[in-house]
Each structure stands twice: as structure tokens, then as C-alpha cells.
Amino acid sequence: MSDIPVFRNYIAGEWKAAASGAVMENRNPSNRDEIIGRFAASDAEDVKQAVDAAAEAYKTWGKGSAIARANILHKAATILESRIPEIGRELSREEGKTLKEGIGETTRAVQILRYYAGEAQQPSGEHYPSMNPATLLYTVREPLGVCGIITPWNFPIAIPAWKIAPALAFGNTVVFKPASLTPLCAVRLVEALAEAGLPAGVLNLVTGSAGKVGDPLVKDDRVVAVSFTGSNEVGGELRKTMGARGGKLQLELGGKNPAIVLADADLDQALMHVVNGAMMSTGQKCTATSRAIVDRRIADAFTEKLAQRIASIRVGDPLDPDTQMGPLIDDKAADRVAGEVKTAKEQGVTHVFGGERLSGEERERGAFVAPALFTNVDPSSRLGQEELFGPVLGVIPADGLDEAVAIANQVRFGLSASIFTRDLATALIFAQQAEAGIVHVNSETAGAEPQVPFGGMKGSSSYSREQGKAAREFFTQTKTVYIDLPPVAK
């Protein structure tokens, strides 16, 4: 008998195989010979059952007590917290980020569940003065109904947590379709919430492909809202589908995030944050630094320091405590990144090193790519404009703040942006002028805390924000209530 674990969908409070019985395999990106598990390869029938269950559960969950919802989220946080070491490890095996990052991300998911347990208990409306002093005039935020949650593989437990927790906290029910490359983390999150006592049908997990699960989910009219994080291409498709049927849609998409390094910066601080921003999680963060826009006067010296630091990154098995960078998510992604690097070199971009698939016995078994550095990158070139989603950093020299900011803003994305300077006025000007939803001064583009809004400007988002109190905006709708008393009988 095979000892490969089998995982099922969670629909109407039961763990069940896909209606068709089909399964899909999930492999370790560090070692493609290792099968992590077999998961339900679901289709439209499973999606229908999940939406049926969520619609039925909404009748009571949506009208229930916010305090009871908070208690369940608190309990789920405690359950998940007790499993951080093993889930963090599974996350690293499944996604490829280092063990430290896997544990850090799982810990973040716990914080998010706790945060929304608290948010569920916050005031959910406002009291207004009325023209008529006898009128009681107020608003309440009510849930939307059944929400579809579609998530990417790069934060396989934190992103699902930061969508599902507020959706549930504010009274919605959920059908969750995780990325096909990271279904195990999705199962672990849903297990914690189910064990915490969520009533049947409130949260439903359906694993399977974009076409067979994602597509029927976004096309089901009973799914009144979809929160999606992923690529701009898929985001564009969802805009059309949801727009045509009038559903509410939240998109969190790609980035091409700049870090500006000015001549007055503390260069050691800048170096550490630019390298971490570019290379942690193998460059596969939507907020990763992919452009270092460096004052021309220090560009050569700073590039040299970058080269030394990046060349020393230890690439290997994410479970080895000495590893600083794991593989990409799969061979397709590794070949794509290596191909982009090759093309940039052929186009004459100054290549310092890196970007090739790594050889050697252990590395050949996984999706490993050497971290890459380019310099003198033309800001309008492909390398200067497009999200490569891998460990590739391009240095762009600039003459002073104005040109650096102009280059930083000269992309279709606007997720996160950093500046390194000791000058307060420069920092404030940058904070005003950066076309980015998240601005950092003297820290990396990829830092984000869960209690504040998260999201991008321009092509990086749909003008909505996730996390913090902002999540209530998306996952609720406003009702305005006028209460006038009947005339008092004399």
C-alpha cells in the first residue's frame, strides 16, 4: 500500500473526495521525486456542492452573533499556533521557502486569525445626526453572502488566512479554492477552523485546477463576491466575468517594486534590505524588490557590495537551517526565470551574474536557480518593467531624487516602494510622490504588518485594500436605517 497521504475537499462540514474520484499530486519543489500528497482534483460538481452548502449555511451564520464568530476564530488561532512547527515545515516542503520563512508565515496566519477575532467585536456602524431631531439615524455593516476566495501559491497559508478570517468574522460564508501547487497549507488552515467549531457549510474547501474549480466558482451567480490574489492576466479575466454578472471583486495582483538608494543613505542598512527584499522567498513575493534605483554617484560601489552579498547566498534545501534561499515553486517557473535572464543578456543588459538553473546532484532534483544581478538596466526595458517573480535584481542608476522617483513610478504596477535616506524631508517627499499603496523608508519593500491596510495602486490592485480594518470595506455592505417614532397618542 502507498504511504502517500490523501487529502480531501471540505464541503458541508465533511471531508470528502472529488465527486468524480479524480486526484492530483503535489510535489516538493526541492525534490520533484517526493510526492507530498494526493488531493481532490475537483470539478464543477464539487464547486456546486460547496456553493450549495455555503448558501445554506449563510442563512444562519450571517445572522448570528459576531461574538460567537470571534470565539471560533480565537480558538482556530490557538489550534493553529499549537501546530506551527509542523505546518511551517510542511509549508517549506510544499512551497520551497526556507524553514524560517515557513514558520514565520504560519505564525503570521495565527496573528491574522487573532486580529480578526478582535475585529469581529468592533463597532460595525455609525450613528448620525438627522434633520429631524426625533429620528434615530444610523448605519450597519452587513455581510455580503457567499464569498469565493481564490489564492496564489506564494503565501499559501497567510493569504488564505487574511481573506478567509475577515470574510467569516463579518458574517459571510466561504468557498475557498487554493492554488493547485499548495493545497496542503490550505487543508491545514481549514482543519484548524473546522476543529474550532465552524458550523457545517460556513467554510468549504475545493481543491483542483483553475479551469475546473476556479472558473465555475467565479461564474456561479450565488457567489456574490470574489477576493482574488494572483497574476494580472487572471485578474483581467475575472474583471470581465465578475463585471458581466455584477459581482463584487477584489484583486491583489503583481508588482515591480523599487528600492531607491540615495547617496546619503546608511549603505549597510540599504544593502541588507535591498538584498532581503529581492531574494527572500526566492524573489517570489508580490512585494519583492526587483529594481534598485541607485544614485549614480554611488551606483558602482553599491552594485559591488550587492554582488558580494548576493553571491554569498546559500541556495539549497529549505529544510536545511543553513539555507538562505530555496527553489522556485516548480520547474516551469525556474525555466521561465532562467529564460528571462538569458533573453536580457542577449538584449545586451549588463549581467553581473546568476539566473541559470543550478546543477549538481541535489539541486538538479529541484527547481533551483542562482540569484541574479543585472546593472545599468534601462528603466523602459522588459527587465525594468515586467514582474519576473524570481530572484532577479536590476540596478538602475539615477541622477538624484527627482529622476529616481520618476523611474520608480514609470511602471504599470504600484504595490510597494522603498527609499533609503537619512534626510527627513526627502523621505516625506518620497512618501507623497511614490505611486504605491505601501511606502517604506529605510526598510525593505516586502515588509507588511497585518493590522494595517495592504494593497497596491495602479495595475497592482482593484483600488481595494486587504488586511487591517480595510477588510471590512470589502467583506460587508452598508445599510442606512432611519427610525422615526409613530405619533404618541394623547
Q: Name the residue with cell 471560533.
A: 72
Chain centre to alpha carbon of residue 5: 27
Q: Name the residue with cell 493569504.
A: 159
Q: Residue 154 interacts with ligand NAP (CB under 6 A)? A: yes
Distance CA 185, CA 180 (A): 11
- Among 137, 171, 136, 145, CA closest to 65: 171
Site mask, ligand NAP, residues 380-399, x = CB under 6 A?
-------x-x----------
Task: Give yes or no: 90 in active site.
Answer: no
Distance CA 69, CA 65 (A): 7
Q: Which residues contact 351 (CB under 8 A, 6 or more apart)?
A: 341, 344, 345, 372, 373, 374
Under DSSP, the state recorded for 315 is B
Among the listed ranges 163-171, 248-256, 259-267, 473-481, the one in contact with ligand NAP (CB under 6 A) is 248-256
Q: Which lies closer to ligand NAP via its Cβ, residue 139 or residue 231? A: 231
* Min dist. Cβ of residue 416 to ligand NAP (A): 9
Handedness of CA 392, 398, 400, 403 (dihedral sign): negative
Residues 424-483 that bind ligand NAP (CB under 6 A): 456, 460
What would you measure as the largest C-alpha separation in the chain, in angstroms?
94
Q: Which lies closer to ligand NAP via its Cβ, residue 153 or residue 430? A: 153
Q: In the bound complex, which residue of the shown chain has the CB atom lying closest to ligand NAP? A: 214
Q: Which residues contact 129 (CB under 8 A, 6 or more apart)?
A: 137
Among the listed ranges 72-80, 106-114, 214-222, 259-267, the one in contact with ligand NAP (CB under 6 A) is 214-222
Q: Which residues contact 337 (CB under 8 A, 6 or more apart)?
A: 328, 355, 369, 388, 389, 390, 391, 392
Q: Name the residue with cell 520533484.
A: 32
Q: Residue 153 interacts with ligand NAP (CB under 6 A)? A: yes
Among 9, 49, 92, 229, binds ligand NAP (CB under 6 A): 229
Q: Residue 152 interacts with ligand NAP (CB under 6 A)? A: yes
Q: Residue 209 interacts with ligand NAP (CB under 6 A)? A: yes
Q: Residue 252 interacts with ligand NAP (CB under 6 A)? A: yes
Q: Which lies closer to ligand NAP via its Cβ, residue 238 or residue 299? A: 238
Residues 352-381 that bind ligand NAP (CB under 6 A): none
Other Cβ atoms closer than 10 A to 25: 11
Q: Which lies closer to ligand NAP via its Cβ, residue 61 or residue 155? A: 155
Residues 23-62 that bind ligand NAP (CB under 6 A): none
Bridge-based pairing state of the strands 223-229 and 392-398: unpaired
The C-alpha cell that represents 336 in the structure block:
521561465
Side chain identity, residue 345: K
Among 18, 253, 338, 393, binds ligand NAP (CB under 6 A): 253
Distance CA 201, CA 405 (A): 49
Q: Please, is 430 exposed, middle or buried when counting C-beta atoms within 10 Å of its C-beta (0-12, 13-18, 19+)?
A: buried
Task: Give yes or no: 252 in active site.
Answer: yes
* Min dist. Cβ of residue 238 to ligand NAP (A): 6
Q: Which lies closer to ligand NAP via its Cβ, residue 323 or residue 416? A: 416
Distance CA 267, CA 357 (A): 30
Indicate which residue of 101, 252, 340, 466 is catalytic: 252
Among 145, 160, 166, 254, binds ligand NAP (CB under 6 A): 254
Q: Which lies closer to ligand NAP via its Cβ, residue 233 or residue 322? A: 233
Residues that contact ligand NAP, how many (by CB under 6 A): 30
Among the listed ranges 51-59, 173-181, 264-272, 468-476, the one in contact with ligand NAP (CB under 6 A) is 173-181
- Among 25, 44, 38, CA closest to 211: 44
Residues 255-314 that bind ligand NAP (CB under 6 A): 255, 286
Indicate which residue of 147, 185, 286, 444 is catalytic: 286
Residues that bind ligand NAP (CB under 6 A): 150-155, 177, 179-181, 209-210, 214-215, 218, 229-231, 234, 237, 252-255, 286, 387, 389, 415, 456, 460
State the catalytic residues.
252, 286
